[in-house]
Amino acid sequence: MAGTAQGRWTLEHDGRLLEADAPPPRLTGGGRELRLYVDGDLVATKATSSKKAKLTHEDLTVRATWDWRGELSNCALVPARTEADIKDAKDLKELIDKSGETWFTPPEGSRAARRERLARRHPRLYASRHVALAAARVLLPLLGIAALIKIPKPHIDLPDIDLPGIPRPRIPWPDIDLPSIPLPDLPDVTLPGWLQAIVQTAKYWGPILAAVGLAVQEHERRKKQRQKAAERAAAKEAEKAEKAVKAGEPETAQQRETGEEPETGTGAERPGKAAGRG
């Protein structure tokens, strides 16, 4: 498998090393470009002026997102799905919330790598940033209005200017008698006081409630990504062990810990053991 180049997002998928990167906007004339490598070879590129891009090569589809600095903030492998693949509500949910995607690993030293470490160490705190931002959007305007109310406003005497009257033309509009349609009297519905209070304050708690749902969704999505990463690591270790067995090294981790000798299958005994029994 080819080595990993510095500054590339990486993902091992089906025995292949997938890498993605994006050159700085100053090198692409202000636009954005996503590049995909398979085992070190450049296989596809995608230029865009948006902050999001989706690149497809054969059976691979990669989705990328840039931040306001023009750097990649997220890169994921999107599962190839068709309408026939959506068989139940779980498949539809994965398609909507993108939980079926597999995330690339950001390059070391990048802002994305530091964000990922923070998210792994404090997953709930990292996800709760959506709630903090929503609360700030609600509270800051209220605090700003309160501050403006307390600031004394200076009284400025403006000069009184007499503007000349401009005659306006009169247009003879036709007089049209519209038919009178009798409408039924609608019942007078009055909401309870507690429900009126909820409706009137929805613009304050609504964004915060939506942010809570977004935080929970992100926490669950990152939890699934960690599980996928653990499964890939376990599969890689199992593959290494299988290759070691085929190469004539059947010693397992348990045998190394206990000091037990691996069976050679020849029926021969070590001289020390034979002498001890004799």
Digit-coded pLDDT (tens) for 12-49: 888 889 999 998 876 666 688 999 999 999 999 999 98
DSSP string, 199-266: HHTHHHHHHHHHHHHHHHHHHHHHHHHHHHHHHHHHHHHHHHHHHHHHTT----HHHHHHTPPPP-SS
Judge whether residue 255 has pLDDT over 50. yes
Report the percent of the chain where pLDDT is more than 90: 14
The whole-number average pLDDT for the span 152-169 is 75
Alpha helix stretches (DSSP H) within 98-181: 111-121, 123-127, 129-150
Give the H or E element holding residue 18: strand 16-21
More confident residue, 106 or 28: 106
The tens digit of pLDDT for each residue in 261-275 reads 555 444 444 444 444
143 within 8 A of 150, measured Cβ to Cβ: no
Please give the average per-residue pLDDT across 213-237, as a whole number.
82
Is residue 44 within 8 Å of residue 35, measured between CB atoms? yes
How confident is the model at residue 42, as a pLDDT?
94
C-beta separation of 44 from 53 below 8 A = no
Nearest C-alpha neighbor of 37 from the set 27, 45, 25, 29: 45
Beta strands (DSSP E) in 24-179 are 32-38, 41-48, 52-57, 60-66, 72-77, 102-103
204 or 4, which is more confident? Answer: 204
Residue ranges of the domains in the chain?
9-107, 122-148+200-247
